[in-house]
Chain A
Amino acid sequence: MVIHPVLLIAIPLLFAFLMPLLKRAKAVTIIILLFNTLLAILMFHNVYNNGPLYEIIAFSPPIGIYLYVDNIAALLAVMINLLAFINFLSVEKVEIKFAMLYLLAVASSTGIVITGDIFNMFVFFEIAAVSSYALVAWKRDKEALEGAIKYMVLGSIASVLMLVGIAFLYSEFRSLNIYDIMNRMDEGSVLILLSFAFLLTGIGVEAEIFPLNGWVPDAYQGAAGSIASLLSFGPSKAGIYAIARLLMIFSWQQSYDLALSVGIMTLLIGELAAFRQENVKRMLAYSSIGQMGLILISLSMLDSTDYAIIAFFFLLVSHAASKGALFLLSERKGFGSNASKYAGIVSVMSLIGMPPMAGFWGKWYIIMGAMQMEAWWIIAAIVFSSVVEAAYFARYLSTTMQEEEHASIIAAYPPAIMATLTLLLGILPFIYKIATIGGVING
């Protein structure tokens, strides 16, 4: 069976365009997201069995654009679409324009993950950014507008810096295809290193990493819960994966060192700032910054150890699912029902890194990797940040457990499903291992 990854982008776009004519916004969006999730799962199945998948668009690359789907990209596409689907179920009153912007944000995040062309990636970043600006301002009150404007100013600077990076990269290689550039990259000249720095700063705004991540707390605080959740598993995760792809191009020691130092700074600053916060959403946002720093650290080890890619995957997925659940829960004062209690506790455990959640495996493998590299100070930073994390999450749980909640029962299920995903993912590696030993699944 032929799978066309381009449909993952084209179909949501088509229906976003058609939404004003169709009127039934909620039903259409749910069907599209469900369809996309199934398509992404099929795509992952295909990639898992047959190796990376190419989809040429219009002309063969690098003359034209192509989509390149490898294992991790396919998994991320599944993750983004599945979480977007679950998250959308929690939205009670759906307006047409909200549904349009939501679909566009999801489609563009998927696009960032699967595209193989650097300028195309920039275009998808812009769609994701513009739809996020509008979604953050959705509530139209003072806080929402302030957050959205700050996001917008930093996002616009980011897009300029990204274009500067792309222009310098183009001037050196006269090609925009990521894999063409990767094949022709031999040694790091100053120009290429500078263009990497520009691209890292530009993408870093979307990926919530230091130094241009000042928008994160304000935007998350102003946005509604479901939108904060979308931002944390959609554009920001796609952004960090884009950095992973860039590190494949710019794979020399200087760029890994740059990524490592930025990552450690982001981790420490984010976690320490989260510890000081009173407001729940701000605390979660700063904690997100810290986690993104952790993910960037795992990326910076890509060249040195095999554990890095596993750690990257676990950290990314566990953070996406558990932060999504926590942001959804943050709409309410506390966890009244059992479903919300379960969701809150599982998500927090996964973020701190307690077994058997997915977050534990992420931290486990990153520490294994650091031990292999004998970089003790990385381990020290990670352990220190975990302690800080445990402290503020304990405070968070102790306040929220006591409060009663005032929300419908249905709204309690989406976060519970997300939390179950992190739990399942934490247990599943054993299943995979057992299956491999028994010879049932190869790979």
Chain B
Amino acid sequence: MIWAIYFAIASLLAIGIYGVITKKNLMKIFISISIMETGVNLMLIAIGYIPGGTAPIENGDFTTYVDPLPQALVLTAIVIGVSVLALALVMVINYYEKNKTLEYRRLMKW
């Protein structure tokens, strides 16, 4: 079961990196980055999973909890992802105003 999730994580990251490299449209590039971020968030959660554990809210009925630390980290990672995405969208708007296109060809140029 956990291997299905591991497979999903690796696929999300691979799809994301493929999108960033092959796409020229800026919106698609940033969507690919969001996909990668989803993958890594899922990965943190999967690493914190303990078989049979419940959510770490202590009501007294349960004895096994999942690891709460990765969940706190994911909360941070999600907010950071959102912030970067917001700034990225604004840059894309500005880029469109200047160039009247969303094509971005300089990414792979070194």
**Chain A residues in the interface with B (C-beta under 8 A):** 119, 123, 126, 129-130, 133-134, 137, 140-142, 145-146, 148-150, 152-153, 155-157, 159-160, 163-164, 166-167, 170-171, 174, 176, 214, 218, 273
Interface set, chain B 57-90, CB cutoff 8 A to A: 67, 69-70, 73, 76-77, 80, 83-84, 87-88
In the complex, what residues of B have CB within 8 A of residue A142's CB?
98-99
**Chain B residues in the interface with A (C-beta under 8 A):** 13, 16-17, 20, 26, 29-30, 33, 36-37, 39-40, 43-44, 47, 67, 69-70, 73, 76-77, 80, 83-84, 87-88, 91-92, 94-95, 98-99, 104, 106-110
Q: How many A-B residue pairs have CB under 8 A?
A: 90
Pairwise interchain contact A150-B20, C-beta atoms closer than 8 A: no
Nearest A residue to B99 via CB reads A142
In the complex, what residues of B have CB within 8 A of residue A149's CB?
26, 88, 91-92, 95, 104
For the complex formed, measure the closest distance between the CB of B29 and the CB atoms of chain A, giving whole angstroms.
6
Pairwise interchain contact A157-B33, C-beta atoms closer than 8 A: yes
Which secondary structure characterizes the binding site on chain B? Answer: helix
- Contacts A123-B76, A133-B87; A145 near B94 (Cβ below 8 A): yes
Pairwise interchain contact A159-B91, C-beta atoms closer than 8 A: no
In the complex, what residues of B have CB within 8 A of residue A176's CB?
69
In the complex, what residues of B have CB within 8 A of residue A152's CB?
84, 87-88, 91
Nearest B residue to A176 via CB reads B69
For the complex formed, measure the closest distance between the CB of A127 and the CB atoms of chain B, giving whole angstroms.
9
- Contacts A137-B94, A163-B77, A167-B44; A153 near B20 (Cβ below 8 A): yes
Pairwise interchain contact B88-A163, C-beta atoms closer than 8 A: no
For the complex formed, measure the closest distance between the CB of A121 and the CB atoms of chain B, giving whole angstroms.
12
Nearest A residue to B39 via CB reads A160
In the complex, what residues of A have CB within 8 A of residue B33's CB?
153, 156-157, 160
Pairwise interchain contact A171-B104, C-beta atoms closer than 8 A: no
In the complex, what residues of A have CB within 8 A of residue B95's CB?
145-146, 149
Pairwise interchain contact A167-B40, C-beta atoms closer than 8 A: yes
- List 20 A-B residue pairs with CB atoms under 8 Å apart, sorted by A's residue number: A123-B76, A130-B87, A140-B94, A145-B95, A146-B95, A149-B91, A149-B92, A152-B87, A153-B20, A153-B30, A156-B33, A157-B20, A160-B16, A160-B40, A163-B77, A166-B73, A167-B40, A167-B43, A214-B109, A214-B110
